[in-house]
A and B are shown apart, each in its own frame.
Chain A
Amino acid sequence: DQQVKQNSPSLSVQEGRISILNCDYTNSMFDYFLWYKKYPAEGPTFLISISSIKDKNEDGRFTVFLNKSAKHLSLHIVPSQPGDSAVYFCAASYISNFGNEKLTFGTGTRLTIIP
């Protein structure tokens, strides 16, 4: 049961344009959402997050939007740069019975920025 879905396995965008990566979730218990960026043969690195009490969070070129009613979030990168080429994972979190955050990851979207 894939609770976090990234339906686009790949996306190509021209340098300087906007990249929009989408993510859908099914579990209404999720209360925090994160985006991770991963280069080949490296571990994912945290990019940006958003709490369920917000609908937008912005950090430089990166903005995450959350639509709770639609159970949908998106990551906007503008302007896109060649260094943004990577796999982007959406993740959703909630507090487990043990008190730790349990993150559920999507399958990732490979973003390629075309110079």
Chain B
Amino acid sequence: SQTIHQWPATLVQPVGSPLSLECTVEGTSNPNLYWYRQAAGRGLQLLFYSVGIGQISSEVPQNLSASRPQDRQFILSSKKLLLSDSGFYLCAWSAIHWEDIGSKLFFGSGTQLSVL
């Protein structure tokens, strides 16, 4: 069965420090990978998605970047964190099903990031 791992679960970082959040998926090949953020009092905002190694699409301009060095690894990074980067970050994957347009997203357990 497929599993998704995301770490760390919580992170407290000072403003201006770097960030690296990692996500890995097991049990599937060629997944679509996503990074979402849930800011306080807001919905789930798509930050990045990737359909393959080295292929990253950014949904919103921001202080963050994403990379996919391996098929099942997705990394969210920042060189210098801002206060506004605080939030709950979620990694997710979906399978490519051309016949089934309703492929679901499967989420990791999330990382609560507090920038102080």
SS of B interface (majority): strand
CA gap between A107 and B43 in the complex, in Å: 4
Chain B residues closer than 8 Å to A99, beta-carbon distance: 51, 96, 98
Chain B interface residue count, Cβ-Cβ cutoff 8 angstroms? 29
Chain B residues closer than 8 Å to A102, beta-carbon distance: 46, 49
Interface-centre pick from A34, A44, A98, A101 (highest chain B CB count, 10 A): A101
Given known pairs A32-B101, A42-B109, A93-B102, the reply for A100 and B51 (CB within 8 Å) is: yes
One digit per residue, 1 when the CB lies within 8 angstroms of any chain B CB and 0 when it does not, for chain A 92-113 equals 0101001111111111100000
Separation in Å of the A37 CB from the closest CB of chain B? Answer: 11
Closest to A93 in B: B102
Chain B residues closer than 8 Å to A36, beta-carbon distance: 107
CA gap between A44 and B92 in the complex, in Å: 10
Chain B residues closer than 8 Å to A106, beta-carbon distance: 43
Asked whether A105 lies within 8 Å of B109 as measured between CB atoms, the reply is: no
Q: What are the 7 closest A-B residue pairs judged by CB atoms, nearest first?
A: A43-B107, A107-B43, A105-B44, A32-B102, A100-B32, A46-B104, A105-B43
* With A42-B110, A43-B92, A107-B43 already in contact, 16 other A-B pairs whose C-beta atoms are closer than 8 Å: A6-B43, A32-B101, A32-B102, A41-B88, A43-B107, A49-B104, A89-B43, A89-B44, A101-B101, A102-B49, A105-B36, A105-B44, A105-B45, A106-B43, A107-B42, A108-B43
**A/B interface sample: 9 pairs, CB < 8 A:** A89-B43, A91-B105, A93-B101, A98-B51, A98-B57, A100-B96, A102-B49, A103-B46, A105-B43
